[in-house]
Amino acid sequence: MPPWVRLGEVCFLTICYQTRGKNQLCVESVKTLLFEVTDFRQRTRRWYVHLLLLMPDHLHALASFLYDVAMKAVVANFKENTAKRPGVVWRRDFFDHRLRSDASFEEKAHSIRMNPVRQGLVASPELWPYCWQPSTVAAGPAVPLHL
């Protein structure tokens, strides 16, 4: 476990776009922006995102945070920085839930990946192009794929 991650703490996050029911996030330019920002923040150790999935009007993530920085501040900064770009307007606040076990992590990751299937957007989760996970090359060997 890298020393910069809170011991065993993984949070499930949902961040909603301002306009519900309308495709705002599953657009190639927005996808590129959000994935680049996520990757940059990952490499600079502002958070550790295990999984991030975009849906048309919200995103889900499984993330871990630094010991000395509040999760709320990290997410607020992510939203503030991405909202400076055209086409990105977030709702105020976000939903978070701390996962309690490895089983909970696996169940939530599966549920997140199945979200576009349940919504009838794709036939299987592998077909959804709006899913980001850390690559083992980019993340480096010291950062686990699962805490």
The answer to whether residue 3 sits within a structural domain is no
What is the distance, to the nearest Å, from the Cα of residue 3 to the centroid of all Cα atoms in its chain? 21
Residue with tokens 């060997």: 141
The domain tally of the chain equals: 1
Question: What CATH code is carried by the domain that includes residue 127?
Answer: 3.30.70.1290
The answer to whether residue 116 sits within a structural domain is yes
Q: Determine the angle formed by the axes of helices 71-82 and 28-43, rounding to 10 degrees.
A: 140
Q: Are strands 48-55 and 58-64 parallel, antiparallel or unpaired?
A: antiparallel
Residue 3: what pLDDT? Answer: 56
Phi, psi of 40 (to 5 degrees): -60, -45
Domain that holds residue 32: 10-139
What's 67's DSSP letter? T
The answer to whether residue 4 sits within a structural domain is no
Phi, psi of 26 (to 5 degrees): -90, 60
Residue 147: what pLDDT? Answer: 33
Q: Which residues contact 22 (CB under 8 A, 6 or more apart)?
A: 56, 57
- Sequential pLDDT tens for the chain (147 residues): 355 555 568 999 999 998 888 899 999 999 999 999 999 999 988 899 999 999 999 999 999 988 777 889 999 999 998 998 777 889 989 998 888 777 788 999 999 999 999 999 999 999 999 999 987 434 433 333 333
The answer to whether residue 93 sits within a structural domain is yes
